[in-house]
Structure 1
């Protein structure tokens, strides 16, 4: 797609398409499931209503957007790839083109570092980020590196929407999961699949042999490791009321984004055992449906206007 950018501060084309996702107003719904794998996004779209055409757009920068209706409610499923940066692109660009409140659930995979076993589901109540401290690895012995420098930095915890988390848990229990298979706690969102998640790589100086001990000492309630949830929770917590018009009332505080996440445990990081493909398929089928059901139960104060330009209002032509 060729872009004619109008303003470099927040790049959009002359028809309002955002720079990385390439979507515009009316192509993304207020209720969104975000996944990493584009094939998972396509798989989830099979549950969307059959009487409504499913909008599909694959951007040049790795984003896959599918929008339709689920039990009559507009829903988008967005594949974003991996990492904090991709989550940041996604949330900011979607926020800029969708009017009203957003409800976003991340559905993905994670590693466990506590009680959860492979095949269990985690609903993180909060998340913190672990980032590599680049100064620690500097070869310079000047004032840029202090004696108490640590190889990895830890942020504060940012929290999910508790009501949305409860809705996910309720739907997981309705969709064949046992209470013993569902865990809450904190998620560690890492800036690398390797170094900040404690994986050993002899090709680099990573200084990460004690990182699990550091995690549990800093945040004892940590149960999972992955690469996206912190940015979702952080941006939801810092979102403003700017996108909400509130014609009947004025709110002086709050957020325009409700966020939650649920992840399938793919690997036990203490034993490094990995999940089987058959188990992944089973979990995706059961838990994916539960997330859709949780989304349509979510109450939003305002939603994108139902006008003819919205893709979820299109009809099949004979």
Structure 2
């Protein structure tokens, strides 16, 4: 049965609603950045750019780097935007937009997040890179899907117990990355660990301006969490949503973060732009290997 127009919304030109993209506009390897201005900072390294579009915060460039076709797209901030971007990208490759029916043979995309983040560990310094082995979902978005096959109950239960997690909050979900992509993007100077994904920047990440938070010691509890050598290295707003949806949809994902702040020491990078540029170059070179 065709998917209803109200569920899969297309623009008058046949492109998917939010991203303004058609199937031929994207490559199989896609770099996610949050900031729309960062799209140009990635694509300036391309040898050629064949396609550009933007709608709202979703900006896309597709081109070639060292002979490999790549797409870079800005997702905006937060797991809600990741929900839009990944579902619409999947629709481009795995749904026939003319018949509105899922294809019998599916295509797996390679999704590489190039983001910024704050470290929760004093030994993960500013200006370093973190590769997320796991995404720790603190925001609850994934609970709207059938997630039993992608969860890691042992780690989740240990996290709930060690952090005294409030039952008034969404139950934490922990999702593994693509080991294939981890091997490709790992390196001798890369920190690895579990990246916590919050649903907001202030209270959900323990920042207090005028509003008190439910658990003022939560960040310290996350700092101290350890399970079989797994610890929470950093805190941001996208990784767990990317990992969860990619696992459910059959895509491969890895998240790379430039650490521009250290919440444990209170330090902020003196050169955040250069650190992000270094991560962009590192990512592009690994993709082209």
TM-score range, shorter chain: 0.7 to 0.9
Aligned to 1:235: 245
Answer whether contact 1:28 1:98 (CA < 8 A) is retained. Answer: no
Report the alpha carbon displacement of residue 217 of structure 1 after superposing the two structures with TM.
5.5
- Secondary structure of 2:207's aligned partner: coil
> Is the 2:195–2:232 Cα contact (8 Å) retained in structure 1?
yes
Identify the match of residue 215 of structure 1 among 219, 222, 231. Answer: 222
- What does residue 244 of structure 1 align with? none
Cα deviation, 1:18-64, whole Å, max 9, x if unaligned, reads 11111111111110110011111101111111xx44311110x2100
How far has the Cα of 1:76 moved from its partner? 0.3
Gaps of 5+ in 1: 1-5, 133-147, 171-178, 240-254, 298-318
Q: 1:120: how far off?
A: 0.8
Structure 2 residue 31 is matched with structure 1 residue 24: no
Closer, same or farther: CA 287–195 of 1 in aligned 2, 3 Å: same
CA drift of 1:191 comes to 0.4
Secondary structure, in 3 states, of the residue corresponding to 1:289? helix
> Is residue 119 of structure 2 the alignment partner of residue 112 of structure 1?
yes
| Residues 86-136 of structure 1 deviation map (CA, whole Å, 9 limit, x = unaligned) | 11111111111136220000001111111201111000100111138xxxx
CA change 1:206–1:151 in 2 (3 A) is: farther
Residue pairs, 1:193-204, within 5 angstroms: 193-202=201-210, 204=211
Matching of residue 263 in structure 1 with residue 257 in structure 2: yes
Partner of 1:56: 52
Alpha-carbon distance between aligned partners in 2 of 1:21 and 1:58, rounded to the nearest angstrom: 7
- Answer yes or no: is the 8 Å Cα contact 1:16–1:25 preserved in 2: no
Counterpart of 2:183 in structure 1 is 166
Specify the SS of the correspondent of 1:263: strand
Taking structure 1 as reference, are residues 101 and 229 closer, same or farther at Cα in structure 2, changes over 3 Å only?
A: same
**TM-score normalised by the chain length of structure 1:** 0.72
The answer to whether 1:284 aligns with 2:276 is yes
Tell me the distance in 1 between the aligned counterparts of 2:84 and 2:287. Answer: 22
Does structure 2 conserve the Cα–Cα contact (< 8 Å) formed by 1:34 and 1:80?
A: yes
Contact 2:52 2:62 in 1 (8 A): yes
The verdict on how the C-alpha distance between 1:128 and 1:17 changes in structure 2, with shifts beyond 3 A counting, is same
* TM-score in terms of structure 2 length: 0.79
Does the CA contact (< 8 Å) of 2:178 and 2:253 recur in 1? yes
Tell me the equivalent position of 1:173. Answer: none
Change over 3 Å in CA distance of 1:263–1:226 after alignment to 2: same
Give 1 or 2 for the bigger CA radius of gyration.
Answer: 1
Instruction: Measure, in 1, the Cα distance between the counterparts of 2:33 and 2:242.
Output: 12
Q: Which residue matches 2:103?
A: none
**RMSD, matched Cα:** 2.0
**Aligned structure 1 segments of 4 or more residues deviating by more than 6 angstroms:** none
CA distance in structure 1 between the aligned counterparts of 2:286 and 2:93, rounded to whole angstroms: 20
1:209-231 Cα offsets, whole Å, 9 max, x none, are 11123324655511000000000
- Note the C-alpha offset of 1:149: 5.0
Match of 2:62 in 1: 67
Q: Where in structure 2 are there 5+ consecutive unaligned residues?
A: 95-106, 141-164
CA distance in 1 between counterparts of 2:51 and 2:136 reads 34
Structure with the bigger percentage of strand: 2
Does the C-alpha gap of structure 1 residues 26 and 219 become closer, same or farther in structure 2, counting only changes over 3 Å?
Answer: farther
Aligned counterparts of 2:206 and 2:81: Cα–Cα separation in 1: 22
